[in-house]
Chains A and B, each alone.
Chain A
């Protein structure tokens, strides 16, 4: 009996363990599914503000205007239709708030019931007009029921993956068409992470070698907790430190007009990646079998030669894994980067220019984006890109790790 109850007990424990691992896996899969579902819906949306249409005069020969031209038209950088292949006619911009410049309140009606009619009249009277109005005033139903309405609704194409991945402008709240080019953000993220790892890796490697091979145990006991302390500092604190100390420092050293640059961001990031790199490298080096070290000494090699020819090659895969995980930390870091890189969405040309990263963009913008709007889904699409980046980095770690096992069996 006792034996049986013990067995049942063990079985229950087993089931609980099994259930929790399935549960965790399921949750993770659901999160990924949710992320990609939201992200991909971006490509079913048009960049025109939801619930609005663009209407032209019927004599306008253009049927389609691309997003960039539309942005330039509404920024008044293009002032004549001939500049984008239309007839020689000045462009007249019309937003719904401008209606009071053309019609009196009596003409519009007390509940704005004549709004559609007034917009139609305006479109007819000024042939160069482009009107940006809510669909509630001009929609297909209205046009079918009102043959006298002579405006022409132009289509704004859905956002394509090319627009998103290769677009050079990130203006997600621009009116009337948002610009969702993620290229500057993707490049900015890679740029700042790469630079961070270039700073952090040599430094981290030196510290790890010193700590595990050269330093005497007393110093090691002092340094090790210090580095662990560093990994416990909240990123917002480091970000603030960066803003108040490193930003003015960079500005003065390089005589720059502005200190919020990619370099500033990567210095802060390298500080954050250091503990990961040092701890993992230290472990990898200390995992070198004692017999290998001692055989090297027995062959007459001195300490430095042993480090260089035996320990580092042996620990190579561990060190690579440390470097890649360090990059992973840098790629995903949000708060510190948000505070020190300036967040200007331009494609980086040098390390002394402001840049904008994906995590910073998501953190800064998700709070105010209207839910399920095009901006909201674009941020999810960015999250998918970030997920793909870190996923590839993790695959690399696994790949390097498995290579290590093979070579030492």
Chain B
């Protein structure tokens, strides 16, 4: 009796294996945790529409994705930052030509504690705060309260983007607090009175206050929202990328085309990011 059971189990599992092996090779997508929710949702709906296709999505960070891309262990690298020169040169040396596709945009909101009087800052003031030159809220029109600046970890694409686009490439002060995830930044800003931080628009919560930002030295301030980001009025917007090798184009192109289609872009809006069109 027991032997029969084992035999049946064996037959069933081998049939199962045979079926999985019959399917075409899965597309592997790896990289940025910011892009992860988009890719997951897109892959889910894509696979529902094309039952024969198989897509695996793995997070880990932009650097991890691009490193896997260099090793050839992923077909698409997702990244919230542009590929670095050193990484580009490595790909060139390996003789691999690649393509960069912008799949969506993400806006960063600068957030403060709701008790904070300040509701708008210029880019120059933000730069001063994060480089440690402005230390007290009264210097920018708030109460006499020490400024506690929160940033994402240096490994995150968000960190790099904020540095390039808001701090004109200057380095963060070493007194800036580095937190590992967006959720912890929201949590800390909501419970610390003098706090300031930055998060992706999709992560906005009601227990923190988003600041309006001016990129023209205080002439006009724009509050972050999907509309202002789409119309390019809000200045702190970054593109999110997919990278793939030209040699893999045949395999990955249908999926990327789907992401860029109006249906795919709808999903992006639903997940909370900013669609391209």
Contacts and interface: CB of A to CB of B under 8 A. Distances in A.
A343 B188 CA distance: 13
B167 to A, nearest CB: 9
B85 interface: yes
B124 interface: no
B96 to A, nearest CB: 15
Interface stretch (A149-157, A362-370, A380-388): A362-370
Contact of A343 (B62, B169, B179, B187): B179
Contacts of A365: 153-155
Nearest to A251: B192
A257 B174 contact: no
Contact of A369 (B146, B155, B178, B192): B155
Contacts of A260: 177, 188
A51 B93 CA distance: 12
A345 interface: yes
The residue among B87, B131, B177, B193 with the most chain A CB atoms within 10 A of its own CB is: B177
B160 interface: yes
Interface size class of B (residues with CB under 8 A): 35 or more
Interface in B61-81: 61-64, 66-67, 70
Contacts of B60: 367
B171 interface: yes
B63 A368 contact: yes
Given A51-B85, A251-B192, A368-B62, A174 B155 contact: no
B42 to A, nearest CB: 22
Nearest to A244: B187
Interface size class of A (residues with CB under 8 A): 35 or more
A175 interface: yes
Given A172-B154, A243-B187, A257 B192 contact: yes
Nearest to A371: B67
Contacts of A134: 85, 89
Contacts of B86: 49-52, 370, 373
Contact of A342 (B159, B169, B177): B177
Given A365-B153, A365-B155, A368-B63, A257 B172 contact: no
B177 A367 contact: no
Nearest to A369: B63
Contact of B89 (A51, A251, A346): A51
The residue among B153, B154, B159, B193 with the most chain A CB atoms within 10 A of its own CB is: B154
A247 interface: yes
A356 B169 CA distance: 23
Nearest to A353: B175
A74 B180 contact: no
A170 interface: yes
Interface in A263-293: none
A339 B180 contact: yes
Contacts of A10: none
The residue among A49, A75, A370 with the most chain B CB atoms within 10 A of its own CB is: A370
A243 B188 CA distance: 8
Given A173-B154, A344-B178, A370 B172 contact: no
A108 interface: no
A388 B254 CA distance: 51
B200 to A, nearest CB: 16
Nearest to B32: A368
A368 B157 contact: yes
A359 interface: no
B170 A247 contact: no
Nearest to B181: A339
A260 to B, nearest CB: 6
The residue among A76, A135, A243, A367 with the most chain B CB atoms within 10 A of its own CB is: A367
Contacts of A52: 85-86
Contacts of B145: 257
A49 B4 CA distance: 64
Contacts of A244: 187
Contacts of A368: 61-64, 155-157
Contacts of A259: 191-192
A223 B130 CA distance: 48
A95 interface: yes
A370 B177 contact: no
A345 B177 contact: no
A149 B170 CA distance: 29
A7 B66 CA distance: 56
A174 B192 contact: no
A136 interface: yes
B170 A364 contact: no
What 6 pairs between A and B have smallest CB-CB spacing?
A368-B155, A368-B63, A367-B61, A343-B178, A50-B86, A368-B61
Interface of A: 49-52, 71, 74-76, 95, 134-136, 169-175, 184, 243-244, 247-248, 251, 257-260, 338-339, 342-346, 354, 356, 360, 363-371, 373
Interface of B: 60-64, 66-67, 70, 84-87, 89, 131, 145-146, 148, 153-157, 159-160, 169-172, 174-180, 184, 187-188, 191-195
27 contacts: A50-B86, A51-B85, A51-B86, A74-B169, A76-B170, A95-B169, A136-B89, A169-B174, A173-B154, A173-B155, A173-B159, A175-B169, A247-B191, A251-B191, A257-B145, A257-B148, A258-B177, A258-B194, A343-B153, A345-B174, A364-B178, A365-B153, A367-B60, A368-B62, A369-B155, A371-B70, A373-B86
